[in-house]
Chains A and B, each alone.
Chain A
Amino acid sequence: MTEKNLKQAREYVGISQVAGPLVAVKGIHNVGYNELAEVIDPDGNVRLGSILECSEGAAVIQVFEGTSGLSIPDTRIRFRGEPLTMGVSGELFGRVFNGLGQPIDGGPAPRAEMNMDVNGLPINPTAREYPRKFIQTGISAIDGMNTLVRGQKLPIFSGTGLPHNRIVAQITRQAKIIGEDTSFAVVFAAMGIKHDVAQYFIRNFEESGVLEKVVLFLNLADDPSVERLVTPRTALTAAEYLAFTMNMHVLVILTDMTNYCESLREISTIREEIPSRKGYPGYLYSDLSNIYERAGMISGIDGSITQMPILTMPNDDISHPVPDLSGYITEGQIVLERDLDHRNIYPPIAGLPSLSRLMKDGIGEGMTREDHAHVASQLFAAYSHVKDVRALAAVIGAEELTPLDKVYLEVGDRFEREFLSQGEYEDRSITETLDIGWSVISHLPKEELYRISEEELNKYYGK
């Protein structure tokens, strides 16, 4: 019998303490840190947990499915001798799993080609391939100014009631690589979101006919909150298999990361750890990195993982630890703005705080168009000046503005109405997007377009 089998065969009766989702056991044989435990409640149901802390003959277990109904003398524990794994194969598609990777659609467990540790491993930076393939989402604000590339991690920073779900659904419908007909496989991980939101996405996948290329991991609002801590990990494990073993291009949607972070805070508080900001543990950054850094491309492998996490900013506050630490890890952010939403501008993508860090390598001649970088930069500069002019106009009145600043006001309106705004089913090509960009900035006198070269002005200005 191997040591692992021996460990699995032993069962311990009785636990010493329960606190929130944590269970403490004593009098056991030594077990390994972060390994999986089965916690068997008095009714014989098996719940899974992982070992947060282990010492000589004792361990603290975090129980994913919660601890309600556990009793001190009658709870039994078994140790697996390995961390939580997920069985993966091409048969994952079209299936629905809970956060632990167990099927919840009534079907049998899919055949497992292999079992992968859900915690993943850090990708060796020398094995990465730098992402540079432009993904056309058909949304001007993204394609034109915050370009997404294949293998990027680009989150949506949203607020309650803002249309982030509609935007992400539109992206999954429209995303394509120009000149390639490979479509994306989608891995969708829900953490603490409402049933109707999950249903909205599923309906959308159905309508656009991609459902058979979707794998769903659902931990909904009324599911155990600790399970949320593994949901993105099981989902990304499936994605890694599809991308790096099956060579597929996978789009991973993680929603809502704020709920994930709250679960992490809950555990940290129960363990009486020293908090950093707003009660979140000091290791929140490292923990989030272990999720976000699982996006990317590997050199020599065809597949890729593109991540689109969604998070709601509490109080629309971008400096809140969840968006703040995310922004420090991800490769840019699409920020939604309430003010635009109030003015019925869809998609309400904020012009200035949004950013795509990988844009530079995915745009330009041969990828989008030679003028792309300069047009985008000029739009940012102009819109930024518009914001100043609007602030000034609010103080001194629009009539008092200089003639040039009045033009800027108009350009600002056109930018929002013509460039930003578009239909939920409107799929703009990159050429259309850039042309609209030109038509907006062409209202400015040439001298103001100092970020654009002479040749580009000659070719596109006012055309």
Chain B
Amino acid sequence: MLEIIGKVDKVIGPVVHAREIDKARMLDLVEVGDYHLVGEIVKLDRDRAVIQVYEDTTGLAPGTNIYSAGVPLSVDLGPGLIGTIYDGIQRPLEVIRDSSDQYIQKGIHVSPLDREKKWQYKPSLAPGIGVSGGEIVGTVQETVLIEHKVLIPPGVAGKVTWVIDEGEYNVDETVATVENSDGDSVAVKMSQRWPVRKGRPVRERKPLSIPLITGQRVIDTLFPVAKGGTVVVPGGFGTGKTMIQHALSKWSDADLIVYIGCGERGNEMTDVLIEFPKLIDPRSKRPIMERTILIANTSNMPVAAREASIYTGITIAEYYRDQGYHVAIMADSTSRWAEALRELSGRMEEMPADEGYPAYLPTRLAEFYERAGMVQTLGGDQGSISIVGSVSPPGGDFSEPVTQHSKRFVRCTWALDRQLANARHYPAISWLDSYSEYVEEISGWWEENFGGEWMDLRRRIMDLLQNEGKLQQVVKLVGPDVLPDTQRIVLETCTMFKNAFLQQNSFDKIDMFCVPEKQVKMLQVILEFYDLGLENINKGATIHQIKKLEVTSDIMRMKFSVGNDEIEKIDEIRDKLNRSMQRIAEMFE
């Protein structure tokens, strides 16, 4: 129940100072003023409090009441989350739209889950069994792709005394009762609430060993991320951060995607809303919207709710992880979240550290990324959360605090390069500045699935790229003509690799997604071009003879001429390459 806990004393934008506060706790959810604007207590000092308000405070006057139910900011977790688009504090935007006009008015209170909708529920426990938090009581087919597992809330343990029959129920239904060790009966509902700022418990953290396959060649082959891993994607405006996150949402092999549009464009969310229901997942053949949850707190929506959106997103992700799913979170952009933190901190007149950011920025970043990982759930299943966070450095300068601190807490960086983006080489992931610490951990998976070659192929092409980087320094000074052909073949191979392999067009029907088998084959062909080319040059052939080969244009186009279901065509290209190179070789025999 809401009670009056104090009065507004002062309003400075989204920050409200309160007086005559009693019975409030840190991080309690409150409602402020006549419009009942939603806010959260972020500072307490005797009978005064500071509140960050999640809605526009225009018109809010000192002297008005502050209400609270004494609970922290929490999310509703239950069937119906998938396919929904929420704002930063889990208000469903479609419901808001249907209840007003095109604008988000303030003071709107709507339930995150549809409380009327009936779900077909199937119990999976019988009375008499001993249970504890995180175990599955029953299931609901939430979408064709996701079977929703209704869990005993963490912290509850005891003996099941009653379970509901299979049937259609809404999310507020009690589906089982558990008698705990004190002899109290606890009702387990189809949905539960969880405070967003507190990570959900797991049984144990596990090592990472499976890659998150993204279908993006530069990522999967050069800078892979593991399921349960963390990545930052720093890049100036227009370098392709959002496109990468959209591509991963569409094509990665996670079971579920939580996409957080944090302080970014409204149209980008609209784009997702229009496109995702139409896009078919290549593995399950179902619309990818059936595995997507969207959080949209766009740049023009209230800044405090932007700060909260990251936590809302990750808590939802944890809930599905606890059901044994592999969840990937896209956070676009973590810089806007950090800026929200800075704005609120500034308005509270806290001492700033680097570039006006509060001194606790690194701690908050670390806490966020630590919520990723591969785990054994309380229920004994295996689940994971991978986080891909984009960073928007001012002026594209990676030495700024958010990029620097984030890099300390993640193990993979896809550094976007302005020059590549300008040349429309997308994804503009720099092969020199990016890195992944997951390569070793996931190499086993590749070798198991695609033969023992992967690590070796990858190492060879990385070496060539490094070598090319050095040769380019020379070329910049004297031009390529002075280099011996044994070195020019390195340049040619790398140019081919960049154009034919690394560059991947998200708008091309075939190229937008590339299966791992095709990646391996493409890489093999390109390296074979190098090996045979070099062999021939050593026999006396010239670089021009090799460049002139007609098969090079087949190699250049194989990414969009060979579909994911006809990769044997690459073998034909490889045969053609061998024949052509053989013909040159014969000339020097």
- Interface residues of chain A, those whose CB is within 8 Å of chain B, are 30-35, 52-57, 82-83, 117, 119-131, 244, 273-277, 282-283, 285-286, 289-290, 293-294, 296, 298, 301, 319-321, 324-325, 327-329, 331-333, 352-353, 355, 357-358, 360, 373, 377, 380-381, 384-385, 391-392, 395-396, 400-402, 447, 450, 453-454
Contact = CB atoms under 8 A, between A and B. Distances in A.
Interface of B: 9-13, 17, 19, 56-64, 85, 93-94, 96-97, 101-105, 236-238, 261, 263, 265-267, 269-271, 273-274, 296, 298-301, 303, 336, 339, 342-343, 346, 352, 355-356, 392, 394-397, 422-425, 475-481, 499-500, 505, 507, 552-553, 556-557, 560
A155 to B, nearest CB: 11
B82 to A, nearest CB: 16
A290 B59 contact: no
A120 B105 CA distance: 10
A384 B428 CA distance: 14
Contact of A377 (B59, B270, B424, B481): B424
Contacts of B553: 447, 450
Contact of B102 (A244, A353, A358): A244
A129 B300 CA distance: 17
A277 B400 CA distance: 11
B279 to A, nearest CB: 14
B60 A32 contact: yes
A402 B274 contact: no
25 contacts: A32-B11, A32-B61, A33-B12, A35-B59, A56-B10, A56-B63, A82-B59, A121-B103, A124-B103, A125-B273, A125-B298, A126-B97, A128-B102, A276-B342, A276-B394, A285-B263, A285-B299, A290-B300, A294-B300, A333-B238, A380-B423, A381-B423, A402-B480, A447-B553, A450-B499
A126 B13 CA distance: 26
A289 B300 CA distance: 5
B64 to A, nearest CB: 8
Dominant secondary structure at the A interface: mixed
Given A328-B392, A380-B423, A381-B424, A283 B303 contact: yes
B271 A130 contact: yes
Contact of B265 (A31, A331, A385): A331
B270 A129 contact: yes
A122 B96 contact: no
A454 B336 CA distance: 43
Nearest to B301: A122
A411 to B, nearest CB: 15
Given A55-B9, A121-B103, A402-B479, A33 B94 contact: no
A368 B395 CA distance: 34
B299 A32 contact: no
Contacts of B298: 122, 125, 289, 293
A244 B101 CA distance: 11
Contact of B93 (A125, A275, A357): A125
Contact of B266 (A293, A358, A400): A293
Given A124-B93, A282-B339, A321-B394, A274 B356 contact: yes
Nearest to A55: B10
A400 B482 CA distance: 10
A125 B296 contact: yes
A178 B444 CA distance: 56
B61 A30 contact: yes
Contacts of B61: 30-33, 54
Contacts of B342: 276, 282
Given A285-B299, A293-B298, A401 B479 contact: yes
A431 to B, nearest CB: 22
Given A130-B270, A285-B299, A285-B336, A396 B479 contact: yes
Given A30-B63, A122-B104, A56 B237 contact: no
B195 to A, nearest CB: 26
Contact of A331 (B267, B300, B352, B422): B267
Given A54-B11, A384-B423, A83 B237 contact: no
Contact of B507 (A275, A355, A373): A373
Contact of A122 (B103, B267, B355, B394): B103
B346 A274 contact: yes
A127 B261 CA distance: 16
B300 A275 contact: no
Contacts of B479: 392, 396, 400-402
B356 A282 contact: yes
A126 B85 contact: yes
A329 B339 contact: no
A395 B301 CA distance: 51
B300 A130 contact: no
A32 B552 contact: no
Contacts of B552: 447
B341 to A, nearest CB: 10
Contacts of A401: 479
Given A129-B270, A244-B102, A277-B394, A327 B237 contact: yes
Contacts of A125: 85, 93, 261, 266-267, 269-270, 273, 296, 298
Nearest to B298: A125
Given A282-B342, A355-B238, A380-B424, A122 B336 contact: no
Interface centre among A127, A130, A325, A358 (most CB of B within 10 A): A127
B269 A352 contact: no
Nearest to A299: B102
A56 B270 contact: no
Contacts of A293: 265-266, 298-300
A124 B97 contact: yes
B423 A319 contact: no
B97 A282 contact: no
Contact of A53 (B11, B56, B105, B236): B11
A87 to B, nearest CB: 19
A83 B19 CA distance: 25
Given A123-B266, A282-B346, A329-B299, A324 B9 contact: no
Contacts of A294: 300
Given A122-B104, A324-B395, 18 more contacts: A32-B11, A34-B57, A54-B11, A56-B9, A121-B104, A122-B103, A126-B93, A130-B271, A273-B346, A283-B346, A285-B299, A328-B392, A331-B265, A333-B238, A357-B238, A395-B476, A402-B481, A447-B553
A34 B424 contact: no
B59 A32 contact: yes
B312 to A, nearest CB: 16
Contacts of B17: 55
A65 B11 CA distance: 24
Given A123-B103, A274-B352, A128 B62 contact: no
Given A32-B61, A274-B352, A130 B422 contact: no
Given A129-B270, A293-B265, A286 B299 contact: yes
A373 B426 CA distance: 14
Nearest to B303: A286
A285 to B, nearest CB: 6
B556 A450 contact: yes
B399 to A, nearest CB: 13
B355 A277 contact: yes
A31 B296 CA distance: 32
Contacts of B476: 391-392, 395
A32 B93 CA distance: 27
A282 B357 CA distance: 9
Contact of B237 (A117, A128, A328): A328
A127 B102 contact: yes
A53 B424 CA distance: 46
A128 B266 contact: yes
B10 to A, nearest CB: 4
